[in-house]
Amino acid sequence: MKKALAIILMLLMVISLVACGPKKEGGEEKGKVAAFPWDEYDKLIKDIKTTQDMEARMKMMHAAEDKLMDTGAICPIYYYNDEYMAKEALKGYYATLYGYKYFEKATNGDKDTIDLCIASEPDYVDPALNSAVDGAVMAVNSFSGLYTYNENLEIVPDCAEKVDISEDGKTYVFTLRDGLKWSDGSELNAKDFEYSWKRAANPKIGADYRYMLDCIEGWPEDENGDVEKLEAKASEDGKTFTVKLKSVTSYFLDLCAFPTFFPVKKDAVESAPGYLDESGNIKNPAAWTENGNYVSNGPFKNTGWTHKQSITFERNEHFHRAENVKIKKLAFMLSDDDTTIYSAYKAGNLDFIDSVPTDEVKVLLETKNPEFHVIDQLGTYFVCFNVKSDMFAGKTVEEAANMRKGLAAAIDRQYIVDTVGQTGQKLANAFIPPGMYDGQGKEFKVNSGAYKYPDEATAGYFSPAKDLDRARELLTKAGYKFGEDGKLSAETPLHVNYITNKTSGHSKIAEIIYDDFAELGIKMTISLMDWDTTLAERKAGNFDVARHGWVADFNDPINMLEMWSSTSGNNDAQFGRFE
């Protein structure tokens, strides 16, 4: 049995990671981090999103994943499934492959409230600015887009009554339902969608998912672009909304069900205190939501937010399917303490929880507890390296990649799944998970006549088994030296700082990685943070190595590839961001 030897030195601030290896004089400036080339990747993503040749598109997506994995900056651990607990009285809710839980049609026995915990303090509840699953769960229950997913996980009209698609597949004309209203009772129409989509596409707003709108003609490519040129326009009477795409986009209706594409009310957004600075420039685009009681248009409306403690939503009487909403209130407890959450659930104070303490999973499985659910999910749990980190100072691009791959080879994924995951997660050896389609109705992650994975036996990029000899070989190529005991020489020490949020599973995975690295003589510091802090630090590039995970937003590989383009707000690895 491995011992948890992790030393927790910090809670909120990240210690700089120190990597002491021999410095290279040839090809790279001594002491500097080598600029990682990313133009080719950016071009691949652009070409994937504009080509009409589906076979060529598939090949380019494989080429993009090849390039991504060759950096070593994305270290896959396992492919997600979704675990949660729900009281037996709770019926009618449903979950998608993308981690969203819908409570519009839920009932809870003789209770008119659902008490639940999805995660701790959300980074954002503004649907355009959110990029985390917990915020998305709140968004899909309090906002309503043109389309949504029903209980059969089919994409169906929501605010839209219907859509007419041009013969060439590039123009969508949405006809909106009559009588749509905001939660304050005011009229909602297609002009609100035009405003909201242009807002999400505006570089000055800083939406992490801004790039998702780049399939639309007129999308502003840089901060000086004119967002008014975006070809997403409402009719004068506000009844129809016309969108012109650059090319056929098979997943476009899925985008219309995604929170970034939800409407927000212009007056509410722009009149909020703190929205503008003294010079009239946008200062805080999320200011309108931060004190709670914000206007929305979904089945539930926000009625309060006590930061770090709770957030509540009540039935929205102005929702266009209000007659279907039986629950009067969703009361979210905000916490990332698995033990506290589970205790509240067992005591009957929570009806639904989205995480379970690692130590409890085995018993829940052995007793076949009917309240414990394990369902499919489309995503990957991984370790993310910041390619700009001083950890790689003095290394060439190739040496830095070998260094990351060497560290990855030392990780015991099977032990992580057996002792932390425990619900049959598959070991990961590629970023894109099994079950994702290639745009032509076929699974992407398979060997075929057109493409063979570098590790053909596992349809991936490496064997997912722990391999310390391989780790030493790669680290040696990166300039590190090992003694006869198989551990790093004092001449070339390595100290890794790892950040993660506090839940028991994430911290225990960090402890396992700590032990794995120790077998090579690598020292590791674990920094535990609140969830919203972890998100903010990763996005700002204020980290060296971090716990990460990505659940797909729709079933197409481009979703998990375009996030790593140099201009993406979700590019936490900082690819292409060297000055």
- How do residues 84-135 score in pLDDT, each as one tens digit? 999 999 999 999 999 999 999 999 999 999 999 999 999 999 999 999 999 9
Round to whole Å and give the CA distance between 4 and 163.
56
pLDDT at residue 84, rounded to an integer: 97
Q: What is the DSSP letter of 458?
A: G
Residues 70 and 48 grouped into a single domain: yes
Q: Does any domain span residue 577?
A: no
Q: Does any domain span residue 347?
A: no
Residues 95 and 64 grouped into a single domain: no
**542, 577 Cβ separation under 8 angstroms:** no
Tell me the average pLDDT across 442-448: 94
Residues 33 and 49 grouped into a single domain: yes
Q: Does any domain span residue 23?
A: yes
What is the residue range of 553's domain?
A: 8-80+377-564
Residues 324 and 446 grouped into a single domain: no
- How do residues 242-282 score in pLDDT, each as one tens digit? 999 999 999 999 999 999 999 999 999 999 999 999 999 99
pLDDT at residue 1, rounded to an integer: 40
- How do residues 411-439 score in pLDDT, each as one tens digit? 999 999 999 999 999 999 999 999 999 98
Q: Does any domain span residue 537?
A: yes
- Residues whose CB falls within 8 Å of the CB of residue 156, separated by 6 or more in sequence, listed in order: 147, 148, 149, 150
pLDDT at residue 36, rounded to an integer: 79
- The pLDDT-based confidence of 579 (bands split at 50, 70, 90) is low
Q: Does any domain span residue 472?
A: yes
pLDDT at residue 578, rounded to an integer: 84
Q: Which of 281, 316, 336 is the last residue of a domain?
A: 336
pLDDT at residue 371, rounded to an integer: 98
Residues 140 and 65 grouped into a single domain: no
- The pLDDT-based confidence of 225 (bands split at 50, 70, 90) is confident
Residues 293 and 187 grouped into a single domain: yes
- Residues whose CB falls within 8 Å of the CB of residue 483, separated by 6 or more in sequence, listed in order: 489, 521
Q: Which helix (H) or strand (E) holds 518?
A: helix 504-518
- The pLDDT-based confidence of 7 (bands split at 50, 70, 90) is very low
Q: Which of 285, 311, 336 is the last residue of a domain?
A: 336
Strand 113-117 to strand 352-353: parallel, antiparallel, or no bridges (unpaired)? Answer: parallel
Residues 326 and 244 grouped into a single domain: yes
Beta pairing partners, 312? 304, 331
- Looking up residue 296, the CATH number of its domain turns out to be 3.40.190.10
Alpha helices (runs of H) in 256-368, residue ranges in sequence order = 266-270, 338-346, 358-366
Round to whole Å and give the CA distance between 480 and 471.
11
More confident residue, 503 or 350: 350
Q: Does any domain span residue 142?
A: yes
pLDDT at residue 439, rounded to an integer: 87
Q: Is the pLDDT of residue 211 over 80?
A: yes
Residues 248 and 321 grouped into a single domain: yes
Round to whole Å and give the CA distance between 462 and 143.
42
pLDDT at residue 23, rounded to an integer: 37
Q: Does any domain span residue 65?
A: yes
- How do residues 125-165 score in pLDDT, each as one tens digit? 999 999 999 999 999 999 999 999 999 999 999 999 999 99
Q: Is the pLDDT of residue 473 over 70?
A: yes
- The pLDDT-based confidence of 224 (bands split at 50, 70, 90) is confident
How many domains does the chain divide into?
Answer: 2
- How do residues 379-398 score in pLDDT, each as one tens digit? 999 999 999 999 999 999 99
Residues 298 and 405 grouped into a single domain: no
- Residues whose CB falls within 8 Å of the CB of residue 530, separated by 6 or more in sequence, listed in order: 12, 120, 121, 336, 501, 502
Q: Which amino acid type is present at position 439?
A: G
Q: In the chain, what's the furthest Cα-to-Cα distance? A: 78
- The pLDDT-based confidence of 31 (bands split at 50, 70, 90) is low
Residues 450 and 547 grouped into a single domain: yes
- Residues whose CB falls within 8 Å of the CB of residue 484, separated by 6 or more in sequence, listed in order: none
Q: Does any domain span residue 3?
A: no
Round to whole Å and give the CA distance between 565 and 569.
9
- Looking up residue 451, the CATH number of its domain turns out to be 3.10.105.10
pLDDT at residue 19, rounded to an integer: 39
- How do residues 338-354 score in pLDDT, each as one tens digit? 999 999 999 999 999 99
pLDDT at residue 441, rounded to an integer: 87
Round to whole Å and give the CA distance between 202 and 125.
18
Residues 65 and 141 grouped into a single domain: no
Q: What is the DSSP string of 384-408?
A: EE-TTSGGGTT--HHHHHHHHHHHH
Calculate the average pLDDT of the chain: 93
- 576 φ/ψ sector (left φ>0, alpha ψ -120 to 50, else beta): left
Residues 97 and 223 grouped into a single domain: yes
Tell me the average pLDDT across 488-494: 96
Nearest to 524 by CA among 538, 506, 511: 511
Instruction: Count how many Cα atoms sit within 13 Å of the Cα of residue 567 in the half-sphere of its side chain.
Output: 16
